[in-house]
Amino acid sequence: MAVAGYPRLAGLSAEYISEQLKAYIDGRRVNAIMSDMAKPLTIVQIQSVATFFSTLPMPTQAGTPLSDATQADRGQQLAERGDWSAGIPACFNCHAPGGIGIQPSFPPIIGQPAAYIEAQIRAWKSGTRQAEPQNLANALMYNVALRMNDNQIKSVAAWLAAQPTAPKNQH
């Protein structure tokens, strides 16, 4: 299990990891540790490190039921069905059934710590995480995050993080 808040990189696509490092360099993502680490990297280094992590097997994780059943239900509902009356599509509408992602534009959202998922939704909401301006994903995730309240963000992050992962299905 990852240290709280630190995302797993193993098994993410090289294209996605490269784009994230470029986002730290451009200031489209901001993180106290990563921003400064990314800035000195050359394009070749970015590609090398992205390829390396993409070839590592995704760690497996058994599902852990959440202690708060109400929170679990709310999180599952948002992940699988969304809250369309509030303009929130289901996470799985774009990140694929089971949240396993569609590379490269829709990263897997299972197999990540709750604190990381929560921080990312908040970063999209506040505008401190952005894709390239011409990328539609930018507006898609911003609008969804904008409409999510605190309770929804916490619930869906907790539920996603508690799901089992099966590496064979990642690609």
Q: Which residues bind other proteins (CB under 8 A)?
A: 27-28, 81-82, 84-89, 93-94, 96-98, 100-102, 105-106, 125-128, 130, 133-140, 142-144, 146-147, 169
- For other proteins, the closer CB: 108 or 113: 108
For 106, phi then psi, to 5°, come to -120, 95
Asked if 139 contacts 89 with a C-beta cutoff of 8 angstroms, the reply is: no
Q: In the complex, what is the shortest distance from the CB of residue 8 to other proteins, in angstroms, rounded to a whole number?
A: 18
Q: In the complex, what is the shortest distance from the CB of residue 3 to other proteins, in angstroms, rounded to a whole number?
A: 27
- For other proteins, the closer CB: 100 or 162: 100
Q: In the complex, what is the shortest distance from the CB of residue 168 to other proteins, in angstroms, rounded to a whole number?
A: 9
- For other proteins, the closer CB: 7 or 89: 89
End-to-end CA distance of the chain: 21
Two structure tokens written together for 106 = 């829709």
| Displacement of CA 125 from its chain's centroid (Å) | 13
- For other proteins, the closer CB: 53 or 142: 142
d(CA 148, CA 151): 8
For 83, phi then psi, to 5°, come to -135, 75
Q: In the complex, what is the shortest distance from the CB of residue 96 to other proteins, in angstroms, rounded to a whole number?
A: 5
Cα–Cα distance list, 9 to 26, 59, 125 (Å): 20, 10, 23
Q: In the complex, what is the shortest distance from the CB of residue 48 to other proteins, in angstroms, rounded to a whole number?
A: 26
- For other proteins, the closer CB: 48 or 76: 76
d(CA 144, CA 170): 24
